Amino acid sequence: MTTWLIPIIIFGLIIGSFLNVVIFRIDDLKSILTTRSQCRSCQKTIAWYDLIPLLSFFLLRSKCRNCGEKISIQYPLVEGFTGLLFGYLYLMYGLSWSWVFYALVFSILLVIFVYDLKTLTVPEVIVWVAVVLALLGGAYFGGFTLLSQIFGGIVGGGFLFLLVYFSKEKWMGWGDVKIGLILGLLTGYPNAIFALFFAFILGSIVGLGLIYFQRKTLKTAIAFAPFLIFSTLFSLTYGQILIHWYLNLFI
């Protein structure tokens, strides 16, 4: 099972490098195909040997070779997390079409994850691509019925829709509704209930922690899409296990 683990992680690092490009150029996606990577400070083209995922960041001591400007910590974090994500999915699904599907979906969700943290907005084009993929493959690769997927989407997207509608976007935005829909389509019913519950619990814990350390206040907006995305991944692995454990408490 672990034969391909290291190559898969290395492949994930490479994809993570590409995802960084997507995140930084999300307002001009065509430039990904037409323009080589440049330093965001001095605008000089970056040599291929300074684009080695994860390794180049440390060899350059997190500074541009040309101008000495610090390189964003986002680069190694996204690359490293993508590598670990691909390895984790490989341990779950092996080298299979399921792995291909979830690696693709969560790569897209990772772009949304980071972009929402940076801007408190969800990129429309990217999120709709994720919705379509989740709709087409969620039930098949998740091993649940189409009916379960439909109910999951209603739970995930519908509940957040109500929160956004009645709060007039004070509690969260319409982008979160789309992420909730993706959550439901990927996890199905009843896992979507657990995934939503876990996302709110996790968001509350992190929010209270930020308030305690005086990084945020009760009125400060916090990106919620990252919690929904992480909860989706967690639910795919442990959702059924924890639901069965909870139900057994009453038997």
- CA dihedral sign of residues 172, 174, 179, 183: positive
pLDDT per position as a tens digit, 122-147:
999 999 999 999 999 999 999 999 99
User: H or E stretch including 101?
Assistant: helix 97-119
Residue 14 reports pLDDT greater than 80: yes
Is the Cβ–Cβ distance between 82 and 15 less than 8 Å? yes
pTM for the predicted model, two decimal places: 0.90
Residue 54, phi-psi category: left (phi > 0), alpha (psi -120 to 50), beta (remainder): left
Q: Which residue has the higher pLDDT, 221 or 150?
A: 150
Q: Which residue has the higher pLDDT, 208 or 181?
A: 181
pLDDT per position as a tens digit, 53-107:
999 999 888 898 888 889 899 999 999 999 999 999 999 999 999 999 999 999 9
- Mean pLDDT computed over every residue of the chain: 89
How many Å apart are CA 21 and CA 43, to the nearest integer? 14
